[in-house]
């Protein structure tokens, strides 16, 4: 019901000039207050206090739904004079001289005007805060874009250089290479090509995030299916990947963009497989809490250098460190993971445990975004 009323007023606001719309809102609220006051006047013995409060409420609503101070001030003046003219003895006449009347009407006018001023001021403060939040969001997006550009320039250059080098050696020294050396060069080209494909998928994932609000379109998705699809997609690129998956016994639906969360899980699992330098399977499990679902990706390898933990999701930091093979590091994947989880109003962290490293991110069970 409330949504229908708000939708009606939004359509009305779009159809009418702003000034006419605001006067209609003011007149409509005063008409409603007057109608209620006539009703109180007919059925109550001493309706004056109820009538005054009704008009004060009308003034408050006028100030709430119209810009500036003018409409609320007009409503205050109209209310005081109309109460005196119609609902105060002598009826149908303006008389502020009778005992007690001046104080009553001054108080009513003061309350109405102060209420209007406070409400208008609160709206102005809310507008200023909204503009500041928007400016901070834009600045954050620009910082993210700059970091991503730096990360892309680094992470694309490394595998491309390796592909060019391996293919050049293969073509120029084809007759001097053994079959095993040729196979090794082709294997390197394949690995770096897959790495490039993964980075392109990461960059395409970012384009699914709304440029204006830094948010995503979410719908309830079953956690079990999302993890299953992520593992299937990962094994297409890493057929020998060993992953142990565990999900809650209860059927769990979480609001999310399934494609983006799958990409986050793929990034985290691939990092665990590539950088842990361990033969132990990677664990992927979900923890069901009252407010959120927490996705864990745990490996049993060398862990993360402690000095890197505070900045590991910073793309400029993650590209600075490379893997043991010297050909590729964590790259932009972790930075994009943070971007995606933030767009879901969630949180992501990395920690070391006694036998390796663990990444985990939390997604709220309820959509926390509020329609403006």
248: CB partners within 8 A, 6+ apart: 223, 286, 287, 288
Burial (CB count within 10 angstroms: exposed 0-12, middle 13-18, buried 19+), residue 290 = exposed
pLDDT per position as a tens digit, 298-336? 999 999 999 888 888 875 544 444 443 444 545 567 888
**For every one of its 372 residues, what pLDDT tens digit does the chain have, with 9 covering 90 and above?**
545 655 666 776 677 788 888 888 889 888 998 999 888 888 887 777 788 888 888 887 887 778 777 787 788 788 878 887 888 777 777 776 665 566 666 766 676 667 767 777 777 788 888 888 888 877 776 776 676 666 666 667 777 888 898 899 988 888 888 889 889 899 889 878 877 777 777 677 666 675 555 677 889 999 999 999 999 988 888 888 899 999 988 889 999 989 889 989 998 998 899 888 888 999 999 999 999 999 999 999 999 999 888 888 875 544 444 443 444 545 567 888 888 898 898 999 999 998 999 999 999 998 654 444
Task: Give SS3 for 221.
Answer: strand
pLDDT per position as a tens digit, 98-111? 655 666 667 666 76
Task: Give SS3 for 279.
Answer: coil
Tokens of 368: 């926390």
pTM over 0.85: no
pLDDT reported for residue 283: 95
Domain limits, the chain? 2-95, 147-364
- Residues 372 and 370: their CA atoms lie apart, in Å, by 6
pLDDT reported for residue 295: 97
The phi and psi torsions of 245 (rounded to 5 degrees) equal: -110, 135
CATH number of the 147-364 domain: 3.30.565.10
Q: What is the 3-state secondary structure (H, E, C) of 72-90?
A: HHHHHHHHHHHHHHHCCCC
pLDDT reported for residue 212: 55
Tokens of 301: 């390898």
Are the C-beta atoms of residues 229 and 223 closer than 8 Å to each other? no
């Amino acid at each position: 019901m409330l949504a229908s009323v708000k939708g009606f007023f939004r359509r009305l606001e779009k159809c009418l000039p702003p000034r006419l719309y605001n006067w209609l809102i003011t007149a409509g609220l005063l008409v409603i207050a007057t109608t209620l006051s006539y009703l109180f006047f007919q059925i109550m013995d001493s309706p004056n206090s109820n009538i005054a409060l009704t008009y004060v409420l009308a003034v408050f609503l006028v100030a709430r739904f119209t810009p500036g101070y003018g409409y609320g001030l007009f409503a205050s003046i109209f209310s005081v004079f109309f109460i005196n003219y119609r609902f105060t003895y002598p009826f149908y006449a303006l008389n502020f001289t009778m005992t007690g009347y001046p104080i009553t009407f001054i108080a009513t006018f003061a309350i109405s005007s102060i209420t209007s001023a406070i409400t208008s001021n609160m709206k102005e403060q809310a507008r200023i805060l909204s503009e500041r939040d928007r400016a901070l969001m834009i600045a954050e997006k620009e910082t993210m874009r700059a970091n991503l550009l730096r990360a892309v320039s680094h992470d694309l250059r490394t595998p491309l250089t390796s592909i060019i080098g391996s293919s050049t050696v293969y073509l120029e020294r084809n007759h001097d290479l053994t079959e095993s050396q040729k196979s090794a060069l082709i294997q390197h080209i394949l690995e770096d090509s897959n790495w490039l494909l993964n980075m392109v998928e990461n960059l395409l994932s970012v384009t699914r995030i709304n440029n204006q609000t830094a948010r995503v379109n979410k719908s309830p998705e079953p956690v079990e299916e999302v993890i299953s699809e992520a593992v299937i997609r990962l094994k297409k690129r890493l057929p020998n990947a060993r992953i142990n998956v565990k999900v809650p016994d209860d059927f769990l639906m979480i609001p999310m963009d399934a494609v983006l969360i799958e990409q986050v899980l793929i990034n985290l699992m691939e990092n665990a497989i590539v950088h842990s330098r361990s033969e132990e399977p990677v664990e992927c499990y979900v923890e069901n809490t009252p407010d959120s679902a927490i996705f864990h990706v745990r490996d049993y390898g060398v862990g993360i250098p402690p000095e890197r933990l505070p900045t590991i999701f910073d793309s400029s930091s993650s590209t600075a460190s490379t893997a043991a093979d010297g050909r590729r590091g964590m790259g932009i994947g972790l930075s994009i993971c943070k971007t995606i989880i933030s767009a879901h109003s969630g949180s992501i962290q990395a920690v070391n445990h006694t036998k390796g490293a663990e990444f985990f991110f939390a997604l709220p069970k309820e959509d926390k975004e509020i329609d403006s």
